[in-house]
Each structure stands twice: as C-alpha cells, then as structure tokens.
Structure 1
Amino acid sequence: MAEHWDVVVVGAGTAGCPLAARLADAGRRVLLLEAGAAEPPDELRDATSLRAAVPGHPANWDLTGVLPGGREIRVPRGRVVGGSSAVNAGYFVRPTPADAAGWAAAGNDLWSYDRLLPAMRRLESDREFGDRPEHGADGPVPVQRPTSGPPLADALGRAAEELGLPAEPDKNAGGAPGYGPLPRNVVDGRRISAADAYLAPRRGHPGLAVCGGVRVLRVLLERGRAVGVATTGGDVRADEVVLSAGAVGSAHLLVLSGIGPADVLRAAGIPVRVDAPGVGTSASDHPLVYLPFRPAGNVTAAPGQAPLHGVLHGTSAGAEAPGDLEVLPWLAPFSQVMTGRAAPPGDVVEVGVALLRTVGRARLVLTEGDPARPPVVEYGHLVEAADRRRMREGVRLAAELLRTRALAAVGRPGDDLSAVVAAGDAALDGWIRERLTTAVHLSGTAPMGPGTDPMAVVDQRLRVRGTEGLRVADTSVLLRVPSRGPAATAVLVGERAAELMTGD
C-alpha cells in the first residue's frame, strides 16, 4: 500500500471487481481495497442459503433502514471480497431497454442500450442462449436458468399458464415481460461472485493487488484533485481514485471527503470541498412485501436445492414502461433459506411482490454526532399515491396467482389474504404497510448527468464534478434503481467504467 498506483479502486464488490480486473488487463497498476475479508468463507459459496444476510454476520455491513412511519429494518450489504454478489440470492437479470433509454434521455448517451450491449455480452457466459447474437458465451460470469425443481416450482409454472400470462423464457433478451425461469450466476448450487468471476482468474497478476481488511476513511484531495485515499492502514497515493463501495459506501465517502450537500457537510463539521446537492438525497429502491403461502406435503425445495426458480414480471395500469411489477416466489421457507437447515413443519413460504419503478425516493442520513458511522437509509416507500396504487395491483396479481387451481393442488394462500384483497383499497394499503420492507436494491446516491443538471454528481464518464482524478463506479451513479434486481447492472457498471477509463 505504500507504493504509488495508477488507480486505487475502493470496494472489491459487484462493480469494483470487474472494474479493477479490466483496468489491470489494460495495463494499469491497480490497488483494490476491501473493508471485509479478502477471501470469502466457504459457507458463502452455498447459493441455497443466505446465511450472511443474518444480522451480525461478519460478511454483512448490516445497515439500518427506516421506513415511512419510523419502523426500522435491517439492510444487509456484503462486506467481503465480491461484495453483495457474494451474499445475495444469485438473481442475475440485465437492466431493461427502458432503463437504458431513461439514462440516455437524461443526457447520458454513452449509456444507451446499444452502447451497453457489447459489455453485457462480454461479461457473461450464458449456458442456454450464449449462441444468440444478443448474448455472450465466454465471459467471466456464468448465467444459468433452472430446468427442474420441486413440485411447487412446477405448480407455479402451471399457475401462470392458467392465468394466461405470457411466457418469457429469456429474462435477459429485453423482450415483453411475463413468467419465466430466473437467470442466476449460480452453477451446481455454487454462487459465483464477482470476485470468483474476475479476481480468482487473475491471482498473481502483476498489475493487480487486492487488500482486504482495509477501511477507507476519505479521499485525499489536493488543489481539487484526488491523489489517493486515507485508510486505517495509512495513506495510499494514486493517479486516479474510483469509489466502488456501493450505493451507501461510495456516497458516504464522498461526504466524508467534503463532497456533498453543503448544509449537510457544515452541520457535520466537514469542510466543504464541492457543494454537490445530489449526493445521497434522491436515491431509489424497490418497495417489497411478502405474501404467505402454506405448502401441503413435501412440495418445497429441500435443503441443498435452489430456493428460486421462476419469476413473473407484470405491468400495472398506466405504467411508464412494461414490467414494473415483480412476483418472485421462494420455494423454501426463510427459516431454511437463512440457515441451510430443514424448516420446521408448517412453515409458510413467501412470495415477494416488488414495485420496480417508483416515484418515491430515499435519502442517506448521517449519524448525529458521528458522521464516520455508516449513514441510515431513510426510505420513501409508498408515500406517493401512484406507488401505493401500483403496489396494490402487484399484490392482487400475486394473490390471483396463489388462488389458481394449479397451486390449490400443492397448498393454499395465507389465511387472511383473500379477505384483505376483497375488502378494498384502504384495507389492502394497511395490510401492505404492516408488511412493507425493501428489496435492498438502493441506487442513485451519486447520479450521473450533464452539467445542466444540478443534481448530477458525476458526468456520464463517471467523473465526479468539481474534482479531477476521482470517479464513482457502482449503482450509486444510476439515475434510479433499474427495473430488475441490480446485481447484473452493477457488474455492467464496472465493465463500462473500465471501458470509459481506458478510452480516456
């Protein structure tokens, strides 16, 4: 760490790993810093469980979130090489063409779908569709869809057919939304994190060093230029600094470095280097609620089997783009998914319903008296009437799915769901509010945009405005959360950032 580097990348997560690897391949000398362990424990490679999502796990930042009304929730984020890709469920679905069109229309033409497609192809090795022109066959991330599952998985497929819902065999083709198998970065039950895909093949690479257990305190700025970072192990000097610490971590480091809303910085006693009102003030995430389903007999996934199989994307009335609703059924009770041990008899399985394009926004709030502590995420979930209406549509769609003849053969919905859905909007809103949580897909804490946008923190080449030699490359830069789970998008941001940096 005492050496002078071409690039220091802060955060060996879902975006940081591909960025660092590609820069090293291009001849840059790269130091990749990670606050967590430099090698994930073996238990994290088991994609049939989410052990690290449990509060207190050393690979989990375990952040605090606050929902409207003041209810606190836990926000798990990966604190290990590979980041959240090392601890999540392996959901690997591309951003939609509508997502990219929105980024481009906001003044970021380098992020149109056509401009992104080469990187999307390059990063994947698609086991089913790799021979098609829109896919890749030899990239570092294996993408695979389930072909079989427990009886509950088969029943869900029949239930979608019963409702006349369209089939969507390839969720990464950018086509019309429907029901289809979930693409995952999982092979033979093993989670392939960004570290597995990008760092493991480059062990011993002379241009890439990875250091774990290093917490970065702030960016070192001299006369408006980033010259390195201050860490718990001392200062590190570099020609360029890239923050890839995630939507919370990167925005927090900007603030600690004096880049953020001036009033927030002054209140925290941090000298103002750049007044950037968009840092941490207009983020977004996916509101999420779970519907219970009581399985009958041995129809769920057993320990060691994949807990996810198919996913339904639907469209609400008046949606600005197709596929703004997601119904994601889990095939095993969470008591089993979290521990890897068989669930007690009678446990329900959960069917997640997420709103994928929201009006409501989230913000990061510094801890009073100690700005160095991770900020709290204040969610604006369902405070907007339009969001509440669309979420009701999503819950009713899921309830209709659960009441089909196909699913009646393998279980029944939770006891109160039918009555609540039939009772009207107000009752359903209350039912949703009591069960509301978040999908943990926070994005947009340092959004990109043109110089005419006062909220744009970075330009479309991901350079932090008002500084030199400093970029952000993770889901922080997205104008809003993509309308699918963001893991594939985060890898894409890392790949695209490397392209832009080597081009510059």
Structure 2
Amino acid sequence: MSPALRPPLPPDRRPDVLIVGGGAAGAVLAARLSEDPERDVLLLEAGPAPQSAADFGADLLDARLVPGARPDQPGTVLHGVHLTPERPWAVVRGRILGGSTTVNGGYFIRARRQDFNRWAAAGNPVWAYDRVLPSLRAMETDLDLGAGPLHGGDGPVRVARTDWEHPAAAAFHDAARAGGHQQDPDKNNPAAPPGIGPVPSNSVAGIRSNTALNYLTPQVRSRPNLSVRGDTAVVRVSITGGRATGVVLADGSELRAGEVVLCAGALASAHLLLLSGIGPRADLTRIGIPVVHDAPAVGAALSDHPQVVLDWTPMRNLPDPRENWLGGCLHLASGVGEFGAPDGPGDVEILQSLVPMAGLTGGRTGTAGEALPFMVAAQAPRRSGRLRLVSADPGSLPHVDLGYLAGPEERVRMRAAVTAAATVLTASPMTALGRPGPTFPGTEVLGHAVELDRWIAEHLGTAQHTCGTVPMGPADEPEHAAVDQYGRVHGIAALRVADTSILPDAPLRGPANTAVLIGEIIGDAMCRALP
C-alpha cells in the first residue's frame, strides 16, 4: 500500500515504545520488546516495509549480488561525505525494513574480544566480551559448527561460511598460505590468530537474509501489540520538560509514546538528535536550533575504516559464484601501533569478491574477462571523523568528514595494507590463474612511500563501517559520551539510541554482526528494566 493510500495512525495512539528505524538493531528490538504482550510497540521505517521474503524481491535476496552497490537500487539512500578534505564520496545506507542488512554484502564477522573489552573499559562494563558472549551465541544458528561454548545452534540468524570451491577463492587461499599466513577457519573465534579463512555470512544457500526476515517473521508481525509501519519518516524527537514524549513526522504530524528509541543508523540517529536540540551547544546555536540538552559528544568524533580496491584479472573465463559473491578473507597485522602488533588481533582486512565491480554495481554476476576486486581496509580503531549540521531543515543532510589519512600512523597502516595485498595477489597461485588488474599499484609505486601515499589518496574509498556518532560512556564524561551502556541518552528521559552510533569506535571487523548484537543487548535491558 502506498503512503498516500495508507490510513493515518490514530491520533490518540500512544505506544509504550516507539522505535525509529527497522534495520539491523531496530528490527531486533521490535521483536524482542513485543514478546511481552502487555507492551505496545510501534516500529516506524522510513522506507518500504515488505511483509514477506517474496515482497523483498529477487534482487534483494540474491546473495551473489550486493544491492547497496547499485546506484539505482530503490531500497537505499545516499549520504554525501568527505573521505578527506579533497575527496568527496557517497555512502549507501539501507532505506527499507532490515536497513543495511537488506542491501549489504552479508558479511557477519564478530567484533574481536579486544573491541568489546575496550568499550567496557570506557565505562560500559556490560559490553565486556565474556558478558556479551551469551547474547552472541543466542542470536545465531551456526550451520557449520553448531551449538557449543562459542556458537549458537537455535538463534534467529543463520550463519554459514563461504568455501574454497571457486577457482579464484582457492587461488587466494593458496597464495596467502604460500606467503606464510595462518589458517583462520573460524573468524568468529576470538582466540584464533588472524589469517586466511572463509567469511561467516548471514547469507545461506544463496539467499541474503536480513534482520526483518530473521526477527520480524510473519508470526512476530501478527502480534497484536506490534505495529510495523513503512514509508514513515521522522524529522525530530518531541521533548517536554527533559523527557521524550514522541516524534514529529515529515508530514508535520506528531506521534506520542512512552519511550522513543532511535535505531536509524550511525548517520541518521545523530542527525535526528541534533535536529531535536540534543548536541553541541555552539553548533546548534549557529544553525538556529533551540538547545534542549548540550551534548558535545554527538557527532564530535565518528569512526570508520578507509579502504581501497586492488584488481586481479583471470586469464580464462571463470564460473559465476554459486551461492555468494564473497570469496575468502585475509586478516593480518600491519605492524603499526597496538592493534597492528604481530601477535595482535590483526588490523588489516583483504576481502575477496568473486563478482567484478561492474557486476556489483550493475546487478549481474558474470565474470568473463573482467577483473575481480579485492577490498583492502585498515581497520584499527580510530575516531578522526566528524558529523555536523549545516541546516535546521531535516531534508538537508549533515556534513560528514570521515577524516581518513589524517595522521602519519594511518598512512603507514594503509601502505602496509596495500603492500601486503599486492604481495598476495602476485604470488604464484594467483599468477598461475590471472594477473594484476587495471586498479593495481605497479612496482614503481609499491617501493616508494611518497608515490604509494599518492596512489592510496587517489584510489581511496570507504568500508562504510560508521560508528561512534553518539558514543556510549559515563554521564560525567559529556565530551566523550552521549548515551549510557544501554543506549539511554544522558540528560533526556525516555529516549534511547540503539545502533552502531553508540559504539565508541568502529570494531576491528565490519560491524554488521555487532549492530544486531546492539538490538539484543538493549532489548534485553529494556525487557528486564535494568537500572
């Protein structure tokens, strides 16, 4: 039903909890909170809210494709950002039920033990690894390893690993091993050293399974105390006397609620807080937004991972991927800083695509004669980005600086990442099957720091792992924390944030798995009314 034909919500509707955004965490939260039949839950999604897998359509379910890579995909929204002051970019976010889990690559690797313990040490003790492990297990069904001390066997998210059957994947595996990299068969095992291994994915048997399908099943959607409403954009939170009382919609109408939870993503949730008068006082005053609560940490130091793509071109036609666009994944240490130490968790990721870039952006899987991309990212925790308002108009997106390559350590880390990738891609198991592609630094670049820095800056992209725009931490550290460990906004009652914006920094692995965990952790806290 189109928004124009959908009947308006009853003006006297006052749910106990109103959730803004039905993505990785929002869908989880709606499912968990509505398990209590006495709690009335309303979930608002800015994009469409398909009822079933069939309603999502084949393009969004085919795990051999990445919908978010397609510029014409209607289930996405583009945000303009700056990777560096000289390099503008457009990042993609899901604008459909399931959020970015509906349009991303299906990568489902957990954050490392070091990530959880670092967040816990920043004043968020419930996020320590040993305390979140039961939730990590409960939310998954590991189809490869089954239930055990590390993995779950009956959770809503089915997890399967990629394999080495594709010739390009097998060559990548053999090249990494020939270069001395260790086997890493279970990347969700925190005790395993970084190395070459298959990718844990929430895409199974060729089907991308988003959080709407995993958590908001037809049985859950039929609960009388849960309402899911799509095509309903929120522009700000209503706050009276220091308490959130509801939200204002794009059409100017207002919905009241007992509690509001923002799950709109790391860019949109921070934007909504700022539009609502919650953020740095000076920035709000400059834009002309009345200050409801001075929260200097909102948007002040976001975190994301810089990435470049190196190409490799097969010398013969290879088969299309059978079930998943992902091949293997190599994690290694850059040798830079704490997280790049040789005995550390690994701060560089080399992720293989079995589909050419033109196929990813064009919605096709064919590989004949085309280069295959390897995504090379430096994934050490960093907080050099910033999000700030440029206008009080909700339709004007905030200015986002990712702050890449801002310091010498990150430039050295990216050099190490590209050099390591180039070494693997020119090893004999890879050269027996193919050769470096058009996007590949030559020997005249790889051996010279200045030239390599220039090449990286010219080819720079992003892993799209934004975190930290509304960081969690103690209330007495307002410069560093805007919410507590359960997502409650400091200084405002009945308002929470539950998405990757609350992570103090981006984890050492992609955050999709952790985004689902956020919904579980905060959902459990709300269900148990934890202090």
What is the TM-score with the length of structure 1 in the denominator? 0.96
Confirm or deny that 1:41 pairs with 2:60. no
Structure 1 SS opposite 2:201:
coil
The whole-number CA distance in structure 2 between the counterparts of 1:496 and 1:360 is: 24
Structure 2 SS opposite 1:484:
coil
What percentage of residue pairs aligned between the two structures are identical?
45
Partner residue in 1 for 2:427: 404
Q: What per-residue deviation string (whole Å, max 9, x for no partner) do you get for residues 183-238 of structure 1?
A: 00011111000000000241211221100000001111110101111113522111
Given that residues 314 and 323 in structure 1 are in contact (C-alpha distance below 8 angstroms), is that contact kept between their aligned partners in structure 2? yes
What amino acid sits opposite 2:222 in the alignment? G
The whole-number CA distance in structure 2 between the counterparts of 1:430 and 1:283 is: 25
Partner residue in 1 for 2:519: 494
Moved more, 458-467 or 61-70: 61-70
| Alpha-carbon shift at residue 345 of structure 1 (Å) | 4.7
Partner residue in 1 for 2:148: 132
What amino acid sits opposite 2:31 in the alignment? A
Confirm or deny that 1:10 pairs with 2:20. yes
| Alpha-carbon shift at residue 49 of structure 1 (Å) | 1.1
Structure 2 SS opposite 1:117:
helix
Given that residues 399 and 418 in structure 1 are in contact (C-alpha distance below 8 angstroms), is that contact kept between their aligned partners in structure 2? no
Structure 2 SS opposite 1:309:
strand
| Alpha-carbon shift at residue 67 of structure 1 (Å) | 2.1
| Alpha-carbon shift at residue 336 of structure 1 (Å) | 1.4
Given that residues 17 and 199 in structure 1 are in contact (C-alpha distance below 8 angstroms), is that contact kept between their aligned partners in structure 2? yes
The whole-number CA distance in structure 2 between the counterparts of 1:202 and 1:123 is: 16
| Alpha-carbon shift at residue 341 of structure 1 (Å) | 2.7
| Alpha-carbon shift at residue 391 of structure 1 (Å) | 0.9
Structure 1 residues 146 and 56, CA, compared in 2 at 3 Å: closer, same or farther? closer
The whole-number CA distance in structure 1 between the counterparts of 2:459 and 2:36 is: 48
Given that residues 67 and 104 in structure 2 are in contact (C-alpha distance below 8 angstroms), is that contact kept between their aligned partners in structure 1? no
| Alpha-carbon shift at residue 69 of structure 1 (Å) | 3.2
| Alpha-carbon shift at residue 469 of structure 1 (Å) | 0.3
| Alpha-carbon shift at residue 303 of structure 1 (Å) | 6.3
| Alpha-carbon shift at residue 414 of structure 1 (Å) | 3.2
RMSD, aligned α-carbons: 1.6
Partner residue in 2 for 1:346: 369
Given that residues 304 and 340 in structure 1 are in contact (C-alpha distance below 8 angstroms), is that contact kept between their aligned partners in structure 2? no
Structure 1 residues 204 and 360, CA, compared in 2 at 3 Å: closer, same or farther? closer
Given that residues 23 and 498 in structure 1 are in contact (C-alpha distance below 8 angstroms), is that contact kept between their aligned partners in structure 2? yes
Partner residue in 2 for 1:32: 43
Instruction: Give the gaps of 5 or more residues in structure 1.
Output: none
Moved more, 94-103 or 226-235: 226-235
What amino acid sits opposite 1:470 in the alignment? L
What amino acid sits opposite 1:250 in the alignment? S
Alignment of 1:302-341 (within 5 A): 302=320, 305-321=323-339, 322-341=345-364
**Number of matched pairs:** 503
Alignment of 1:118-197 (within 5 A): 118-174=134-190, 175-197=192-214
Confirm or deny that 1:461 pairs with 2:486. yes
Partner residue in 2 for 1:219: 237
The whole-number CA distance in structure 1 between the counterparts of 2:475 and 2:359 is: 49
| Alpha-carbon shift at residue 133 of structure 1 (Å) | 1.4
Given that residues 219 and 257 in structure 1 are in contact (C-alpha distance below 8 angstroms), is that contact kept between their aligned partners in structure 2? yes
Confirm or deny that 1:470 pairs with 2:488. no
| Alpha-carbon shift at residue 306 of structure 1 (Å) | 1.9
What amino acid sits opposite 2:282 in the alignment? D
Partner residue in 1 for 2:6: none
The whole-number CA distance in structure 1 between the counterparts of 2:302 and 2:85 is: 19
What amino acid sits opposite 2:175 in the alignment? A
What amino acid sits opposite 1:32 in the alignment? L
The whole-number CA distance in structure 2 between the counterparts of 1:168 and 1:108 is: 30
Alignment of 1:419-438 (within 5 A): 419-438=443-462
Partner residue in 1 for 2:465: 441
Instruction: Give the gaps of 5 or more residues in structure 2.
Output: 1-8, 340-344
Moved more, 228-237 or 272-281: 228-237
Partner residue in 2 for 1:204: 222
Confirm or deny that 1:248 pairs with 2:267. yes
- Aligned mate of 1:280, from 299, 321, 337: 299
Given that residues 445 and 455 in structure 2 are in contact (C-alpha distance below 8 angstroms), is that contact kept between their aligned partners in structure 1? no
What is the TM-score with the length of structure 2 in the denominator? 0.92
Structure 1 SS opposite 2:464:
coil
Partner residue in 2 for 1:294: 313
What amino acid sits opposite 2:429 in the alignment? A
What amino acid sits opposite 2:230 in the alignment? G
Structure 1 residues 80 and 304, CA, compared in 2 at 3 Å: closer, same or farther? farther
Structure 1 SS opposite 2:443:
helix
Given that residues 179 and 313 in structure 1 are in contact (C-alpha distance below 8 angstroms), is that contact kept between their aligned partners in structure 2? yes
